[in-house]
Amino acid sequence: MKKLTGYMAGVNLGGWLSQYLEGNLQRDPEHHFDRFITEEDIQRIADFGFDHVRVPFDYPLIEDDDKPFVYKEAGFAQLDNCVSWCKKYGINLVLDLHRAPGFSFNEPDKIILFGDEGMQQRFLAIWQAFAKRYKNEGHMLFELLNEIVEPDSSRWNALATRAIAAIRETGDEHAIVIGGIDYNNVWKLKDMPIFDDPKVIYNFHMYEPFAMTHQHAFWNEDTVRFNRDVSYPAPLDDYLDFARETGRRMDLYEGLTYMDRDFVFRFLQPAADFIAEHDLPLYCGEYGAIDEADLESRAAWTQDVAAFCTQHGIGRALWSYRGMNFGLIDEETKAPVSAALLRAATRR
pLDDT score recorded for residue 331: 94
In a domain, 292, yes or no: yes
Q: HSE of 235 in the Cβ direction (CA atoms, 13 Å)?
A: 3
In a domain, 229, yes or no: no
For residue 166, give the CATH number of its domain.
3.20.20.80
Report the chain (348 residues): mean pLDDT per 10 consecutive residues. 89 95 70 94 98 97 97 96 98 98 94 98 98 95 97 95 98 97 94 94 97 97 96 94 90 88 96 96 97 98 98 97 97 97 97
Cβ-contact 284, 309 below 8 angstroms: yes
**Structural domain that includes position 287:** 10-206+268-345
Tell me how far the alpha carbon of residue 337 is from its chain's centroid. 21
Phi, psi of 24 (to 5 degrees): -65, -40
Count the Cβ atoms, other than its own, within 10 Å of residue 325: 17
DSSP string, 135-175: TT--SEEEE--SS---SSSHHHHHHHHHHHHHHHHTT---E
Phi, psi of 185 (to 5 degrees): -60, 135
CA distances from 113 to 101, 109, 188, 317, 328 (A): 7, 12, 20, 26, 33
pLDDT score recorded for residue 83: 98
pLDDT score recorded for residue 21: 74
Angstrom distance (rounded) from CA 95 to CA 270: 25
Enumerate the H helices of 170-294 as residue ranges. Answer: 181-184, 210-213, 221-226, 237-246, 261-267, 269-278
pLDDT score recorded for residue 25: 67
According to DSSP, residue 182 is labeled: H
In a domain, 252, yes or no: no
Run of H or E including 33: helix 32-35
In a domain, 123, yes or no: yes
pLDDT score recorded for residue 1: 66
Residue 286 bears catalytic tag: yes
Q: Is 179 left (phi over 0), alpha (psi -120 to 50) or beta?
A: beta
Q: Pick the catalytic residue from 147, 150, 208, 292.
A: 147
Q: Pick the catalytic residue from 63, 150, 208, 286.
A: 286
Is residue 205 classed as helix, strand or coil in its secondary structure? Answer: strand
In a domain, 303, yes or no: yes
Let me know if 138 is exposed, middle or buried by CB neighbors in 10 A (0-12, 13-18, 19+). exposed
According to DSSP, residue 185 is labeled: B
DSSP string, 305-342: HHHHHHHHT-EEEES-SS-TT--SB-TTT-SBS-HHHH
- The total number of structural domains in the chain stands at 1
Residue 221 bears catalytic tag: no
In a domain, 143, yes or no: yes
In a domain, 245, yes or no: no
pLDDT score recorded for residue 31: 84
pLDDT score recorded for residue 29: 72
According to DSSP, residue 63 is labeled: B
In a domain, 249, yes or no: no
Which residue in 239, 268, 244 sits closest to 256, CA to CA? Answer: 239
Cβ-contact 213, 207 below 8 angstroms: yes
